[in-house]
Amino acid sequence: MSIKKVKVIFRFFLYLWGVGLSVNSLYAQNVIPVPVKIEHGEGVFILSEKTAIHMPLKGEEARLWENYLRALPIRLHEGKGGGNAITLLIVEDNILSNSPESYTLSVTPQRILIRASSGAGLFYGMQTLWQLAEPSGDGYVIPTVEIEDAPRFAYRGFMLDVSRHFFPKEFIKKQIDALSFYKINRLHLHLTDAAGWRIEIKKYPLLTEIGAWRTEANWKKWWNGDRKYLREDNPEASGGYYTQEDIRELVDYARERYVTIIPEIEMPAHSEEVFVAYPQLSCSGEPYKNADFCVGNEETFAFLEDVLSEVMELFPSEYIHIGGDEAGKMAWKTCPKCQKRMKDEGLSNVDELQGYLIRRVGEYLNAHGRKMLGWDEILQGGLTADATIMAWRNEDEGISAVKSGKQVIMAPGKYCYVDAYQDAPYSQPEAIGGYLPLRKVYAYNPVPDTLTEKQAELIVGVQANLWTEYIPTPEQVEYMMYPRVLALAEVGWSAPERKSWTDFHARALKAVDDLRSKGYHPFELKNEIGSRPEARDTSKHLALGKRVIYNAPYHEAYPAKGDVSLTDGVHGDWTYSDGAWQGFISKDRLDVTIDLENVNPIHSISADFMQVVGAEVYLPVSIVISISDDGVHFTELENQSITLDMERAIRFESVSWKGEAKGRYIRYQARASKEHGGWVFTDEIVVK
Ligand code: ACM
């Protein structure tokens, strides 16, 4: 060992001593997801260019590992497992829990030994090793540990929408590096949608000559604008796609890191871009008219099978995702071909017509040795095909799928949609809405308590989804992904009893620094603002627990806690869907009377409102607050107008009256703008 290195290591120990930490507690903070079992020992292993690596691997595994080792930040030479060596051993049986991804990692000051029954297990042992390693001088120091580890779920996924905004191949590789570092093993690419078709299909070149290019680079501008497509060779065209060569390169790159790329080809909806290229596949037969494929047309099936055939050629993934979400199905109701199909097949409604398409496509995939994966709407219309359900609308969709015997990947919006704001919206770049802080992703348990052990086995995994409508740049993709995807990684890998929010939060803070040092652009967790201040405590006021009379109803989709909601002392957080905000869409929007039971002196009356332009939730434009002794004759206290500012994507406002008054009944009315319509949301009427 060089003098320099000895000095560095000495300084390192001095540092640890100085801050009163043991080596082990410092290092253990680095590992995400937290392993099943860690036992700490004494001393450290010094990893340097002198360290030998001994890998008695064969065939494909040996080739993958040679590629992988070339990409490491330090050159390791091949040698026998003598002094200062890392040995990677394939063993016959899984280390733990029947999972081929399980591994053991044993570090002593003399040697490192990783054992697993598969290359994936060795790879994960190696990721844990790198997370434990602290740079020191020309190499790394690694604490003495014994680790046994295995994943909770076989499927640990992340979805990236490359349609709304296209992201280049090299950027996808960079994310595969990070995802695999945190033991995520599936990358689902949402390759097709109205905003752009992103994969070359040889048999249908117009998909990428036209369907991949649009008039505006920015999705929001395009969607709120002309929604038109341009030819690839038009200098004004914005977009892009992966050639088949690119896809092969990505698939290989991912495979070397034990990540399977799952392609998604959307059907029957979200397909406007297809009909600009091939209008005959829609019910109208014209471009710019439909979003759904015509299910009555045999050519639709020929097209889908041809496309899927090329897709299967490119992607070895067992799962092929066929979308299936949010079909409008309107044109099907009057399309002669669709109507004929329904008659011929004895289908009684358009849900069953969707079911027909899903079944046929599923059978095609099955016949080619693949499994169909689809969003939870594929259960509508009686799903008979063998399929795995990706539950996104809420957990209940996953639960009903499990109860009908289907395998499920849980990705409910409430916990897994990382396109939502991760901090106070006013502090963040514009996002689609919602509020999903790191803590909430971390709190997710993909196996609901209501399931039996047998049913729980049908939940094969969990996935975070990043839709990119409001995410125009690669930097912003990373900002939305990290560190929330790390929380998802721990949800997917770690045993529930090993999870601890406080502990994870400390590790995530370190991981954010680590990601930044590697050139990623994570959210700065240490500056997190957190929940809406009003939402942190319940408030005490005169109307607390008092009866609310609804002169206009709240909407059944957003009842919050029902009739008690506006006087329960509970304020909502940064999203209207958190169960504390009540939603109004009837003609009169908010119109309630609160009965205080006695005549009281009153000094202030206020309510909070929110605006989420993308969700058509707006501030009210007029507020009337009045008071009465008898509930019949009201005196107006306040009549306010509010000017809507549609440029403010997210806005919270408190609208109040202050003064001196007396009364028993308080009436609060809030009207929507006639021009914009939309929802009004409020969470509490505070009377003091
Ligand atoms: C989805 O978010 N529409 C699957």
For the stretch 291-313, pLDDT in tens is: 999 999 999 999 999 999 999 99
pTM of the full structure? 0.93
User: What is the CA(331)–ligand 1 centre distance, in A?
Assistant: 21
Written in H, E and C, the secondary structure of 58-81 is CHHHHHHHHHHHHCCCCCCEECCC
Mean pLDDT of 520-541: 95
| Under 8 Å between Cβ of 293 and 267 | yes
pLDDT digits (tens, 9 = 90+) for 132-164: 999 998 899 999 999 999 999 999 999 999 999
pLDDT digits (tens, 9 = 90+) for 419-444: 999 999 999 999 999 999 999 999 99
State the closest ligand 1 atom to the C-alpha of 326, by its place in the atom list counted from 1.
3
Q: What is the mean pLDDT of the chain?
A: 93
User: What is the CA(252)–ligand 1 centre distance, in A?
Assistant: 28
More confident site: 62 or 176:
176
Q: Specify the amino acid at residue 550.
A: Y
Predicted confidence band of residue 1 (pLDDT cuts 50, 70, 90): very low
| pLDDT at residue 670 tops 80 | yes
User: What is the CA(325)–ligand 1 centre distance, in A?
Assistant: 6
Q: Which two tokens stand for residue 450?
A: 């209501």
Catalytic residue among 149, 193, 246, 490: 193
Predicted confidence band of residue 19 (pLDDT cuts 50, 70, 90): very low
Catalytic residue among 42, 326, 597, 616: 326
User: What is the CA(621)–ligand 1 centre distance, in A?
Assistant: 32
Catalytic residue among 165, 188, 270, 321: 270
For residue 270, indicate whether it is catalytic.
yes
For residue 193, indicate whether it is catalytic.
yes
Probe ligand 1: pick from 193, 262, 432, 467, max atoms within 8 Å of CB? 467
Q: Which two tokens stand for residue 235?
A: 């200098």
State percent of the chain over pLDDT 70: 95
pLDDT value for 81: 62
| pLDDT at residue 208 tops 70 | yes
Mean pLDDT of 376-385: 84
Give the count of beta carbons closer than 10 Å to the beta carbon of residue 207: 24
Residue 669 CA, chain-centre distance (Å), reads 37
Bond preceding residue 429 cis, omega within 30 of 0: no
As beta bridge partners, residue 111 has 85
Task: State the Cα–Cα distance between residues 377 and 299, nearest whole angstrom.
Answer: 24
Mean pLDDT of 375-389: 88
| pLDDT at residue 446 tops 80 | yes
* Closest listed residue to residue 247, CA positions, set 202, 301, 283, 288: 202
Residue nearest (by alpha carbon) to ligand 1 atom 3: 325
pLDDT value for 493: 98
Q: Specify the amino acid at residue 109.
A: P
Residue nearest (by alpha carbon) to ligand 1 atom 2: 392
Probe ligand 1: pick from 191, 321, 322, 375, max atoms within 8 Å of CB? 375
Specify the range with the lowest mean pLDDT, choosing from 55-59, 498-502, 674-678: 55-59
Q: Which two tokens stand for residue 640?
A: 């306010």
Predicted confidence band of residue 28 (pLDDT cuts 50, 70, 90): low
Ligand 1: lining residues by beta carbon, under 6 Å: 325-326, 375, 392
State percent of the chain over pLDDT 90: 87
Predicted confidence band of residue 80 (pLDDT cuts 50, 70, 90): confident
For residue 326, indicate whether it is catalytic.
yes
| pLDDT at residue 29 tops 70 | no
pLDDT digits (tens, 9 = 90+) for 59-70: 888 888 888 888
| Under 8 Å between Cβ of 483 and 512 | yes
Task: State the Cα–Cα distance between residues 468 and 652, nearest whole angstrom.
Answer: 24
pLDDT value for 25: 47
Instruction: Tell me which range, 89-98, 234-243, 608-617, is most confidently predicted by mean pLDDT.
Output: 234-243
How is 8-67 classified by DSSP, letter by letter?
HHHHHHHHHHHTT--HHHHHHTT-SSPPSEEEEEEEEEEE-TT-EEE----HHHHHHHHH
User: What is the CA(420)–ligand 1 centre distance, in A?
Assistant: 13
| pLDDT at residue 683 tops 70 | yes
Bond preceding residue 483 cis, omega within 30 of 0: yes
User: What is the CA(425)–ligand 1 centre distance, in A?
Assistant: 22
pLDDT value for 357: 97
